Every structure is written in structure tokens, then in C-alpha cells.
């Protein structure tokens, strides 16, 4: 079976990727601030199908998926719902697992919450500080992308592109480079925080995943998967963090990205308001319809959805 590697642009043989019939797969899970929609579900079904296929061939797959249970989106939604971030995240994580069950997804070996890996996160940040890849300013610690010359290699971007300042890359006029991203955010009023050797605060989005994968897989593993919109800046930042911290390359053998679910030519997204939750879809159609739609289309191609 051949899989397209986003980084190299080449097709890689999974038999060679799997070491002695063992394969370590990490897929970016949900940020638990809302119900997942069928665009999110496409990604999870794609990787569920992949893991089922590999296991049927006798490959022992350790499928690790993170749960982002601390994030700006969670904090904002908790304020809107007049609750706390921990309770909100716990509620939507429960709903996520219910939706997974309804979708017939049961291939994940380990779910790893970001908040359960604060020690690992802090340890990785300390390593980046010691190696000169991170710096401290008024609101936290940031990764200095100028210290990692290969930043942009996954998305084929340069560090000087104006778009580098958006897509959940934190804004602060005191940053050294506009594309520098937060590793640790110092405590703010009414926000969750942890007391640590680098100060009281909470982790940035990107560092959560590399701390989790290093905890379970070490600094290098086989496949990193996720939706194509995570390629930049999220996955780009992961490469920079992990390879800078460990000094080992490549971070993963294969980067595997699933395509968008498209509505009227536009990506399905909560921010666009053009989404259908898994729960609403399953009120109208059996789960087999969605799984068939996903399986019948190439995993990297856009999937047009209409009623």
C-alpha cells in the first residue's frame, strides 16, 4: 500500500514504513469546545479505515490521538456559556466519544489529553529554551522560528510570508518574528493555569502535540496524520519544536493529510457556519452513508457535500 508523504511529495510503501510489522500513528484529535461536524468526521473515518486495513494485514498499529482540552477556543466558549474551561472541555470530550461510537470508530489505541501532559510540555519547553530556540517576553515563552532554518518545509512556505501571523499564531508586538508562536502563556485572570518551573500559565496549542508524541513514541515515529488545514501552522510548528528539541530528523517518516469536505465550493467549517454536525447528519441518514461517502472518495481529494 502506497501513501503520499506531504513533506517529500513522494509515495511511500507502508510495508517499509512499518518496522517489523509495527507502526506508530498519531492523528490530531479534536479541540473539545463544540460538537464535531461531518468535515471533522471525514478525517477520523479516513484514519479509522487505514488502521483497520493495516491490522487486517497483521500490522500492530499503535494509534495515538490527542484531545486538546485547553485552548483559546475552549476558554472563549466557556465564557460564553458562563462555565469554566475544564467543565466545558469535559462535556464536549464526552460528546466526541459518543459521536465516535455512533460513527463506528473504535481503532484508537490511546487518547491523550493535553492537560494530562503538562510536565512533558514544560520539559520540552525547557529544552527549547536551553538550546536557544525559545525566548521569554511579557506574556509568555515563544518559539523563535529564525533559529530553525527549515521552518516552512512542510507547507512549502517562507518565513517572510504575511499569512504567517494568522491561523492561531499568537499576536504580540514584542515577538522577534511575526511567525513566532506561543509555547507557554502566562497566567491571565479567569483562565486555567498550572504552576511550573517556567512560570504559572498554560501551554500553547502546538507544543501540546509534540510533548504527547514524545511521551508515547519518543522523538521519531512512523506516521503523523490530520486534516490538510492543519499543515500550516500547526504541523509546521510541530516539526520545528520536535526536531529542534531532539536534534533528530525526520520527526516522522510520513505526513498524511486528508482533504476537506466542501460545501458550495467552500471548506466546511464552524467559522463559516456551513457545517452539519455528526449528530444532525445521523438523525437523517444511517452511519453507513457517511462512511461510504468517505471510502468512495480519494482521501486527499476535496469531497463535495450537498443535501
The Cα–Cα gap between 262 and 276 comes to 11
- Residue span of the structural domain in which 228 resides: 2-7+19-125+206-304
Instruction: Note whether residue 155 is domain-resident.
Output: no
What phi, psi does 60 have (nearest 5°)?
-85, 105
Domain count for the chain: 1
Strands 140-143 and 134-137: antiparallel
User: Residue 160's pLDDT is what?
Assistant: 53
The Cα–Cα gap between 42 and 278 comes to 10
Short-list 134, 179, 133, CA closest to 159: 179
Instruction: Note whether residue 164 is domain-resident.
Output: no
Strands 303-304 and 201-203: unpaired
User: Residue 169's pLDDT is what?
Assistant: 58
Instruction: Note whether residue 283 is domain-resident.
Output: yes
CATH number, domain with residue 240: 3.40.50.620
The Cα–Cα gap between 293 and 298 comes to 10
Instruction: Note whether residue 144 is domain-resident.
Output: no
User: Residue 79's pLDDT is what?
Assistant: 96
In the numeric block, which cell numbers belong to residue 271? 467559522
Q: Which residues contact 274 (CB under 8 A, 6 or more apart)?
A: 263, 264, 266, 268
User: Residue 172's pLDDT is what?
Assistant: 76
Instruction: Note whether residue 189 is domain-resident.
Output: no
Instruction: Note whether residue 168 is domain-resident.
Output: no
Residue 16 burial (CB < 10 Å; 0-12/13-18/19+)? exposed
**Mean pLDDT in order along the chain per 10 residues (307 residues):** 96 91 98 98 98 96 99 96 97 99 98 99 99 98 97 83 50 86 96 98 98 99 98 97 98 98 93 94 98 97 91
Query: Dihedral sign, CA of 248, 113, 278, 274?
Result: negative
Amino acid at each position: 500500500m502506497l501513501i503520499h508523504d506531504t513533506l517529500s511529495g513522494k509515495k511511500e510503501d507502508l510495508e517499509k514504513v512499518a518496522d517489523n510489522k509495527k507502526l506508530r500513528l498519531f492523528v490530531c484529535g479534536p479541540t473539545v469546545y463544540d460538537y464535531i461536524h461531518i468535515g471533522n468526521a471525514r478525517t477520523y473515518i479516513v484514519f479509522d479505515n487505514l488502521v483497520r486495513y493495516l491490522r487486517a494485514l497483521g500490522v500492530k498499529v499503535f494509534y495515538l490521538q490527542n484531545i486538546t482540552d485547553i485552548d483559546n477556543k475552549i476558554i472563549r466558549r466557556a465564557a460564553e456559556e458562563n462555565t469554566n474551561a475544564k467543565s466545558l472541555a469535559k462535556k464536549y470530550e464526552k460528546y466526541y466519544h459518543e459521536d465516535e461510537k455512533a460513527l463506528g470508530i473504535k481503532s484508537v489505541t490511546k487518547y491523550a489529553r493535553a492537560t494530562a501532559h503538562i510536565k512533558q510540555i514544560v520539559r520540552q519547553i525547557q529544552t527549547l529554551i536551553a538550546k536557544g530556540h525559545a525566548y521569554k517576553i511579557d506574556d509568555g515563552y515563544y518559539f523563535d522560528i529564525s533559529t530553525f532554518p527549515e521552518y516552512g518545509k512542510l507547507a512549502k512556505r517562507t518565513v517572510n510570508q504575511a499569512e504567517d501571523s494568522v491561523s492561531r499564531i499568537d499576536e504580540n508586538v514584542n515577538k522577534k518574528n511575526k511567525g513566532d508562536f506561543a509555547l507557554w502563556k502566562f497566567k491571565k485572570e479567569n483562565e486555567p493555569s498550572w504552576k511550573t518551573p517556567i512560570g504559572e500559565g498554560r501551554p500553547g496549542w502546538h507544543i501540546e502535540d509534540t510533548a504527547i508524541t514524545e511521551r508515547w513514541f519518543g522523538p521519531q515515529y512512523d506516521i503523523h496524520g490530520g486534516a490538510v488545514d492543519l499543515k500550516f501552522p500547526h504541523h509546521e510548528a510541530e516539526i520545528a519544536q520536535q526536531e529542534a528539541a531532539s536534534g533528530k530528523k525526520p520527526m516522522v517518516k510520513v505526513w498524511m493529510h486528508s482533504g476537506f469536505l466542501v460545501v458550495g465550493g467552500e471548506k466546511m467549517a464552524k467559522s463559516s457556519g456551513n457545517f452539519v454536525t455528526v449528530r444532525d447528519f445521523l438523525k437523517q441518514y444511517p452511519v453507513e452513508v457517511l462512511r461510504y461517502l468517505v471510502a468512495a472518495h480519494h482521501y486527499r481529494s476535496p469531497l463535495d457535500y450537498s443535501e
